[in-house]
Amino acid sequence: MTYEQAIAFLKTKTPLRISVGGDIGSGKSTFSKHLAEVLDAPRIYIGQFMREEAKSRDLTLDAFNELLEQDDEIDRLMDQKTHEASKKEERGVFEGRVAWHFVEAPDAKVYLSVDAKVAAERIWAEKDNDLRDSYGSVEELVKANKERKQNEETRYHTYYDISAYDKKNYDVVMDTTESSIQQVFEETVIAIATFIQEKSA
């Protein structure tokens, strides 16, 4: 299947709910945003829910994540928003660490992986993420991302007995470490379309 054929297929499929999760700094947001635009479908992402809530509380994203560890009601609220949105939308790209678990009848569950240092370098280079705490070096950011991942694993295991990072929970797994954004996008789109077609055959 070519990229053009994959896009043509996905554009005409209804319902079409695609969940996108993966490692911190793997390019989930970039991929999800572009996919939603190409498919002319809404992008629903828990990151936006969290950023809006963090801003309303005048907290950085890291500080908000710490609050989530203390108040499970807020954490569960973020997840519930994903579930409710997926029930309303027949077509959509749903981005979030455990969106695969909360999206109603997902057609494909995508996981983007990346090397930890490469992820930190990408985040370090971001200029418009004003909610993240400042770090003294890429190495500090690598450590912070590792701690964040461990905290998320603990939370999701405690709340729902699931793992956000177990690739067995996903249908399509792509490593974004050494590939260009466009290459990752096209290869993942082809993999998604191929998986959905084979599943329905």
Mean pLDDT of the chain: 90
> For the chain, what is the domain count?
1
Q: What is the mean pLDDT of residues 4-29?
A: 96
State how far the alpha carbon of 79 is from the alpha carbons of 3, 27, 70, 144, 159, in Å.
32, 20, 16, 23, 11
30 falls within a domain: yes
**Residue 94, domain CATH:** 3.40.50.300
6 falls within a domain: no
pLDDT tens figures, 147-163: 989 988 998 998 899 99
How is the chain classified by DSSP, letter by letter? --HHHHHHHHHH-SSEEEEEEESTTSSHHHHHHHHHHHHT--EEEHHHHHHHHHHHTT--HHHHHHHHHH-HHHHHHHHHHHHHHHHH-SEEEEESTTHHHHSSS-SEEEEEE--HHHHHHHHHH-SS-TTSPP-SSHHHHHHHHHHHHHHHHHHHHHHHS--SS-GGG-SEEEE-SSS-HHHHHHHHHHHHHHHHHHHH-
9 falls within a domain: no
| Cα Rg of the chain, angstroms | 17
Residues above pLDDT 70, as percent of the chain: 96
Does pLDDT of 118 surpass 50? yes
pLDDT tens figures, 63-112: 887 887 778 788 788 888 899 999 999 999 999 999 999 999 999 999 99
82 falls within a domain: yes
Does pLDDT of 60 surpass 60? yes
Range of the domain at 106: 14-192
Q: What does the pLDDT read at residue 98?
A: 92
Name the band, by pLDDT with cuts 50, 70 and 90, for residue 125.
Answer: confident
Q: What does the pLDDT read at residue 192?
A: 98
Distance CA 146, CA 152 (A): 10
Q: What does the pLDDT read at residue 132?
A: 55
197 falls within a domain: no
33 falls within a domain: yes
3 falls within a domain: no
Name the band, by pLDDT with cuts 50, 70 and 90, for residue 6.
Answer: very high
Global pTM reads 0.86
Name the band, by pLDDT with cuts 50, 70 and 90, for residue 131.
Answer: very low
Q: What is the mean pLDDT of residues 188-196?
A: 98
98 falls within a domain: yes
